[in-house]
């Protein structure tokens, strides 16, 4: 068992079905004195489901291991059963991890699963973060750890037999209803041992290269922005990994498709100041001049804050502290009450005695288009705009800052 991702001072939640894979994992973790709890999902899809749950209950009772069961009797699957079941399963795991304070979920994916996934990926011809199954990943903000990837299914079955560990075989896995089962029954048996080893070694090398690439990408993505120049000089694989890293900071599990990679690559080569693509909910992937970033649009289109005297305030849009004087003393006592609001059509400000439209100023400053609607302006009691903070791409907040935009 690969223990490099495990820590005996932490509690882990084990996903156990009562099949030989997960029962071997459970027994290994127990025998190695890890702090463990068990999660089991009963879909009631097979006559043996209740017997398997009972067998797991007896094992956990024997070794005083906490067991949590999600009983889905009567629940109706929506759409594809496998997809629905996976969603239900991982929602259950995530809730349990939070409730019991576990460090993550341990699953019993093994070498055969890893190989089958590699072959499925080759058939689908789509990019994946890992070639095969990742040793660790995050689902629903929950860490998933897979310590059995070096073991074959036969090894795990023999482990159970040699250590008198109870288990049951899921007879549905003997059918060809799903692509994975068809590959397991009709493709893998035709592969020679050297072909299998070649695929597994190739996966190890690619996954190691992915880890190094992601570490470099994280150095490039500063302030959660991805430079357009970096995209233009990157391979499709690096663009894919970069988009995964950028998008998943905001939208967990969002699928980065070939279509999205192609679209981002195309707009990166064009001379354009703005572009956006909807991701999920209120999140958008946005190009602003020479940067790509993920933006949350709240749907709000207007705000206004009224202050009758010099004040300190921290709003969703700006921070201000005029209690010891305003920015460059631009706001005087007779300007109060002042209003801080977002720009309105036709707004202008006097610069060296000449009125300048804010719309033109924003363009000159290269203020990202998605920020223009909510950029704060300060209006005095006469309705005159007294101050508009200048956009500075590399602005850094300091302890001396009396006003800054968020």
184 Rama class: left (phi>0) / alpha (psi -120 to 50) / beta: alpha
In tens, the pLDDT along 149-180 reads 999 999 999 999 999 999 999 877 777 777 88
One domain, residues 164 and 45? yes
In tens, the pLDDT along 326-343 reads 877 889 999 999 999 999
One domain, residues 287 and 241? yes
One domain, residues 291 and 311? no
Among candidate residues 271, 296, 321, the one where a domain is terminated: 296
One domain, residues 246 and 328? no
Q: How far apart are CA 137 and CA 132, in angstroms?
A: 12
One domain, residues 185 and 288? no
Share of the chain above pLDDT 90, in %: 77
Share of the chain above pLDDT 70, in %: 100
Burial class (CB within 10 angstroms; exposed 0-12, middle 13-18, buried 19+) of 310: middle
195, 197, 202, 203 alpha-carbon torsion, rounded to 10°: 120
Any domain includes 212? no
Res. 113 pLDDT band, cuts 50 70 90: very high
Is 220 in contact with 227 (CB distance < 8 Å)?
yes
Any domain includes 287? yes
Any domain includes 197? no
In tens, the pLDDT along 262-320 reads 999 999 999 888 888 999 988 999 998 899 999 888 766 789 999 999 999 999 899 99
Res. 5 pLDDT band, cuts 50 70 90: very high
Domain, as residue range, for 279 = 221-296
Any domain includes 202? no
One domain, residues 172 and 314? no
Among candidate residues 154, 176, 192, the one where a domain is terminated: 192
Among candidate residues 279, 296, 313, the one where a domain is terminated: 296
Residue 176 has what pLDDT? 74
Q: How far apart are CA 16 and CA 18, in angstroms?
A: 6
Any domain includes 200? no
Buried b (16+ CB within 10 A) or exposed e, 77-91: eeeeeeebbeebbbe
One domain, residues 61 and 155? yes
In tens, the pLDDT along 50-74 reads 999 999 999 999 999 999 999 999 8
Residue 316 has what pLDDT? 87
Average pLDDT, the chain: 93
Any domain includes 199? no
Residue 107 has what pLDDT? 98
- Please confirm whether the linkage preceding 257 is cis (ω < 30° from 0): no
One domain, residues 29 and 122? yes
One domain, residues 261 and 365? no
In tens, the pLDDT along 183-194 reads 998 899 999 999
One domain, residues 43 and 127? yes
Any domain includes 213? no
Residue 172 has what pLDDT? 74
Q: What is the CATH number of the domain that holds 71?
A: 3.40.50.620
Residue 141 has what pLDDT? 86
Q: How far apart are CA 117 and CA 292, in angstroms?
A: 32
Overall number of domains in the chain = 3
Any domain includes 130? yes
Residue 299 has what pLDDT? 66
**For residues 239-261, average pLDDT:** 93
One domain, residues 310 and 292? no
One domain, residues 137 and 20? yes
Residue 12 has what pLDDT? 98
Residue 369 has what pLDDT? 84
Q: What is the CATH number of the domain that holds 272?
A: 3.30.465
**For residues 351-376, average pLDDT:** 92
């Amino acid at each position: 068992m690969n223990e490099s991702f495990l820590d005996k001072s932490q509690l882990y939640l084990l996903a156990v079905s009562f099949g030989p894979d997960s029962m071997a994992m459970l027994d290994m973790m127990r025998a190695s004195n890890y702090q463990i709890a068990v999660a089991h999902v009963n879909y009631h899809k097979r006559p043996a489901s209740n017997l398997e749950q009972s067998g797991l209950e007896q094992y956990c009772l024997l070794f005083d291991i906490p067991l949590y069961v999600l009983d889905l009797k009567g629940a109706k699957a929506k759409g594809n059963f496998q997809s629905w079941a996976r969603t239900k399963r991982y929602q259950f795991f995530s809730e349990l991890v939070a409730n019991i304070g576990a460090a993550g979920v341990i699953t019993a994916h093994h070498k055969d699963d890893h190989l089958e996934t590699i072959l499925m990926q080759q058939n689908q011809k789509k990019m994946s973060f890992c070639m095969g199954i990742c040793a660790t990943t995050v689902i629903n903000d929950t860490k998933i750890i897979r310590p059995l990837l070096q073991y074959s299914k036969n090894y795990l079955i023999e482990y159970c037999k040699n250590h008198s560990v109870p288990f049951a075989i899921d007879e549905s896995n003997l059918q060809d209803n799903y692509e994975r089962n068809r590959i397991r029954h009709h493709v893998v048996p035709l592969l020679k041992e050297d072909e299998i080893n070649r695929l597994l070694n190739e996966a190890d090398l690619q996954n190691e290269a992915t880890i190094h690439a992601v570490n470099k990408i994280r150095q490039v993505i500063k302030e959660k922005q991805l430079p357009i120049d970096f995209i233009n000089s990157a391979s499709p694989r690096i663009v894919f990994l970069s988009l995964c890293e950028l998008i998943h900071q905001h939208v967990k599990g969002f699928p980065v498709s070939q279509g999205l990679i192609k679209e981002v690559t195309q707009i990166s080569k064009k001379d354009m100041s703005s572009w956006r693509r909807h991701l999920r909910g209120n999140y958008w992937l946005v190009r602003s001049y020479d940067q790509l970033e993920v933006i949350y649009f709240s749907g709000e289109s207007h705000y206004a804050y009224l202050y009758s005297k010099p004040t300190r305030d921290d709003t969703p849009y700006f921070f201000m502290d005029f209690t010891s004087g305003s920015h460059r003393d631009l706001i005087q006592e007779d300007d109060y009450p002042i209003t801080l609001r977002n720009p309105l059509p036709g707004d202008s400000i006097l610069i060296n005695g000449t009125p300048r439209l804010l719309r033109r100023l924003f363009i000159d400053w290269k203020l990202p288009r998605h920020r223009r609607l909510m950029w704060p302006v300060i209006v005095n009691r006469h309705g005159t705009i007294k101050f508009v903070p200048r956009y500075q791409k590399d602005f850094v907040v300091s302890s001396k800052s009396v006003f800054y935009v968020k």
